[in-house]
Structure 1
Amino acid sequence: MTIEIDVLVLGGAGVDTIVHVPELPVPYADSHMIRPGIVTRAGQSGDFVALAAHALGLRTHHLDLLGDDPEGDLVRALHRDRGIPLTAVPQPLGTKRAVNLVDPDGRRLSLYDATRAADTDRLPEATVRDLAAVSRHAHVVITQPCAHALPVLRAAGVTISTDLHDWDGVNPYHEPFAHQADVVFLSSAALADPEATMRRIAGRGRARAVVATAGADGAYLLADGELTHVPAATPPAPVVDSNGAGDAFAAAFLHAWLAGAPPRDCALHGTVAGAYACTVPSTRTDSIGREELAAGVAALLTGG
């Protein structure tokens, strides 16, 4: 069967409402005057990975549950406008949504609406199987119900990546994703001992590369049993929001990884893309392109 998709993204389609706050945690007050305003736009983790992969020239397809609601219409319009194929499975509970509180330094606190998913939610196995059959790779977001699609993806023979985000290394919900993926991304923010968690993921699962992002400190890469530090890239403009930085990192890493680059080079691609994402206001969904990504990686390698 002919391969038609480079990266199949499962899950993580939704809508965020961005609220700029004076600081985090938000000081208690009867009211706050919000500038530059409150904006609702399509774009959660799976959307951002799909957009970033597409911007880097990867043939991308997104699969998730969506409601027949205004939020679902925003997600459909985003994919249609960017030219990214989307398979939307009906979700009677509605499209995923969240409120993101963003402080002046770009830090974010996300409040997710837990009423828009159920334990019984499933992506149709036949749909997952058919899309996986024409895909090189699947990036699986940890949103419900993607864990149930992992055995189908494994049977199809595609490689798998996932992002555990701010996993504490203990919550069992994340373990099926961590142990079934070939490439595992996570944040070091909630980890008491990032190296121990990374080695446990590799030892108990099948990951060939585990990457723990560390914000301005860059990232840590575990590959072939060796842990290395990957330096942070200098953002090309002032940092305004960290939202989507991890998704951009993952997409750029996969861009290099699918091209056969060694893991450290892949991680350098990730740091450049993540730094770029921090310069994009949370009200927009811009992604770094191939030429700018290549220039940023070259600058890191030469110390420029």
Structure 2
Amino acid sequence: MKFYVIGDVTVDHLYYLDALPDPGAEVAPRRASMQPGGAGGTISVTLARLGHSVTLAARVGDDPFAEYALAQVRESGVSESAIQRDPEVLTSTITVLQTPGGERAMISDGAANRLLDPAKLKKRDIETADALIVSGYSLTEGPQREYALKAIEIAKAAKKNVPVFIDLGTGAVNKVGTKLVQDVIGADYLTLNQHELLALTGTGSLSAALAQLGGAGARQVAVKVGKMGSVVWSPEETELVDSVIPEKPVVDSTGAGDTFTAAFAHAVLNGAPLAKAARAANAAGALAATTVGAQSREITAADLERALGR
């Protein structure tokens, strides 16, 4: 299958702490790591490792971080034909502070990604794809938002069926709030976590939030609910899909949600019904969390079959 992905590529600075620091405090991490990341990069890399042809649309700076941010993208064979270079603005970075108890704080700089130039979008690239995947961060602001909306419009108008997957992110929902609904409601498939769903709809429960999305015209939704797995919803069904426990312990959840989205799209395009696609996505997200870094754990179709067969 041929995927076109719009989203960020970043350099992730990961710090594992005993506790999040108070203002003005200086603390030493248990360990620290620098890894390639970003929703667009992680989704693209996962899809490529699952055997698909992938083109990634993102923008990086003309700096040393650019090559590092794209290292796994390049190694996995993702096409860089839609990668843009910015001569002035730096490659995006994210600093993640994480505790053993699961608390996490992030400092995120959209930087070059937000300047993705819509004039360079090639209509044929969207029309010939088998699916378009858009990260919610791409819909927050700047030229990148225009690029993403233009791509969605092309996909919807294409003569062949080009399903649109939109994956939200906490930072995107926190920044735009309930106004983001108007941009994502027309997606063929919407993926997001429980916190994002409640913030997006301004509701206090999963059932109320899904009912509101349904009333607004949502088609098919997959909600990530952490250790419980995921909930899939369509006008015809609502089902809790159990989590998949990996053989190795979970050490880092960075990028697990993006991996979930990639595996979900992979399964859907291979003909899986919603619940079965979500089960595969649960497995992929769990496997991704067994190594440090959003893109460190290579997940293949065989890996998914083994995890689902246990």
What is the match of residue 245 of structure 1? 256
Describe the shift of the 1:170–1:229 C-alpha distance in structure 2 as closer, same or farther (beyond 3 A).
farther
Residues 1:78 and 2:72 are matched in the alignment: yes
Does structure 2 retain, via aligned residues, the 8 Å contact 1:54–1:60?
yes
What is the match of residue 175 of structure 1? 181
What is the one-letter code of the residue matched to 1:151? E
What is the one-letter code of the residue matched to 1:138? L
What is the one-letter code of the residue matched to 2:214? A
Residue of 9, 12, 17 corresponding to 1:16: 12
What is the match of residue 3 of structure 2? 7
Cα deviation, 1:209-237, whole Å, max 9, x if unaligned, reads 20111100111110243211111111221
After superposition, residues 48-127 of structure 1 pair within 5 angstroms as 48-86=42-80, 87-91=82-86, 92-105=88-101, 107-114=103-110, 116=112, 121-125=115-119, 127=121
Does structure 1 retain, via aligned residues, the 8 Å contact 2:9–2:38?
yes
- More off after superposition, 239-248 vs 145-154: 145-154
What is the match of residue 302 of structure 1? none
Aligned-pair CA distance for 1:180: 2.5
The TM-score normalised by the length of structure 1 is 0.86
The 2-side partners of 1:76 and 1:142 are apart by: 20
Residue of 31, 34, 38 corresponding to 2:26: 31
Aligned-pair CA distance for 1:82: 2.0
**Secondary structure of the structure 2 residue equivalent to 1:171:** helix
What is the match of residue 234 of structure 2? 223
Residues 1:185 and 2:186 are matched in the alignment: no
Aligned-pair CA distance for 1:125: 4.8
- More off after superposition, 168-177 vs 84-93: 168-177
Larger fraction in helix: 2
The TM-score normalised by the length of structure 2 is 0.84
What is the match of residue 162 of structure 1? 166
The 2-side partners of 1:7 and 1:293 are apart by: 19
**Secondary structure of the structure 2 residue equivalent to 1:239:** coil
Aligned-pair CA distance for 1:203: 3.2
**Secondary structure of the structure 2 residue equivalent to 1:180:** coil
Unaligned residue ranges in structure 2 (runs of 5+):
139-143, 199-203
The 1-side partners of 2:273 and 2:120 are apart by: 34
The 2-side partners of 1:169 and 1:65 are apart by: 20
Give the count of matched residue pairs: 290
Does structure 2 retain, via aligned residues, the 8 Å contact 1:105–1:240?
no
What is the one-letter code of the residue matched to 1:296? A
Unaligned residue ranges in structure 1 (runs of 5+):
300-304
Describe the shift of the 1:115–1:187 C-alpha distance in structure 2 as closer, same or farther (beyond 3 A).
same
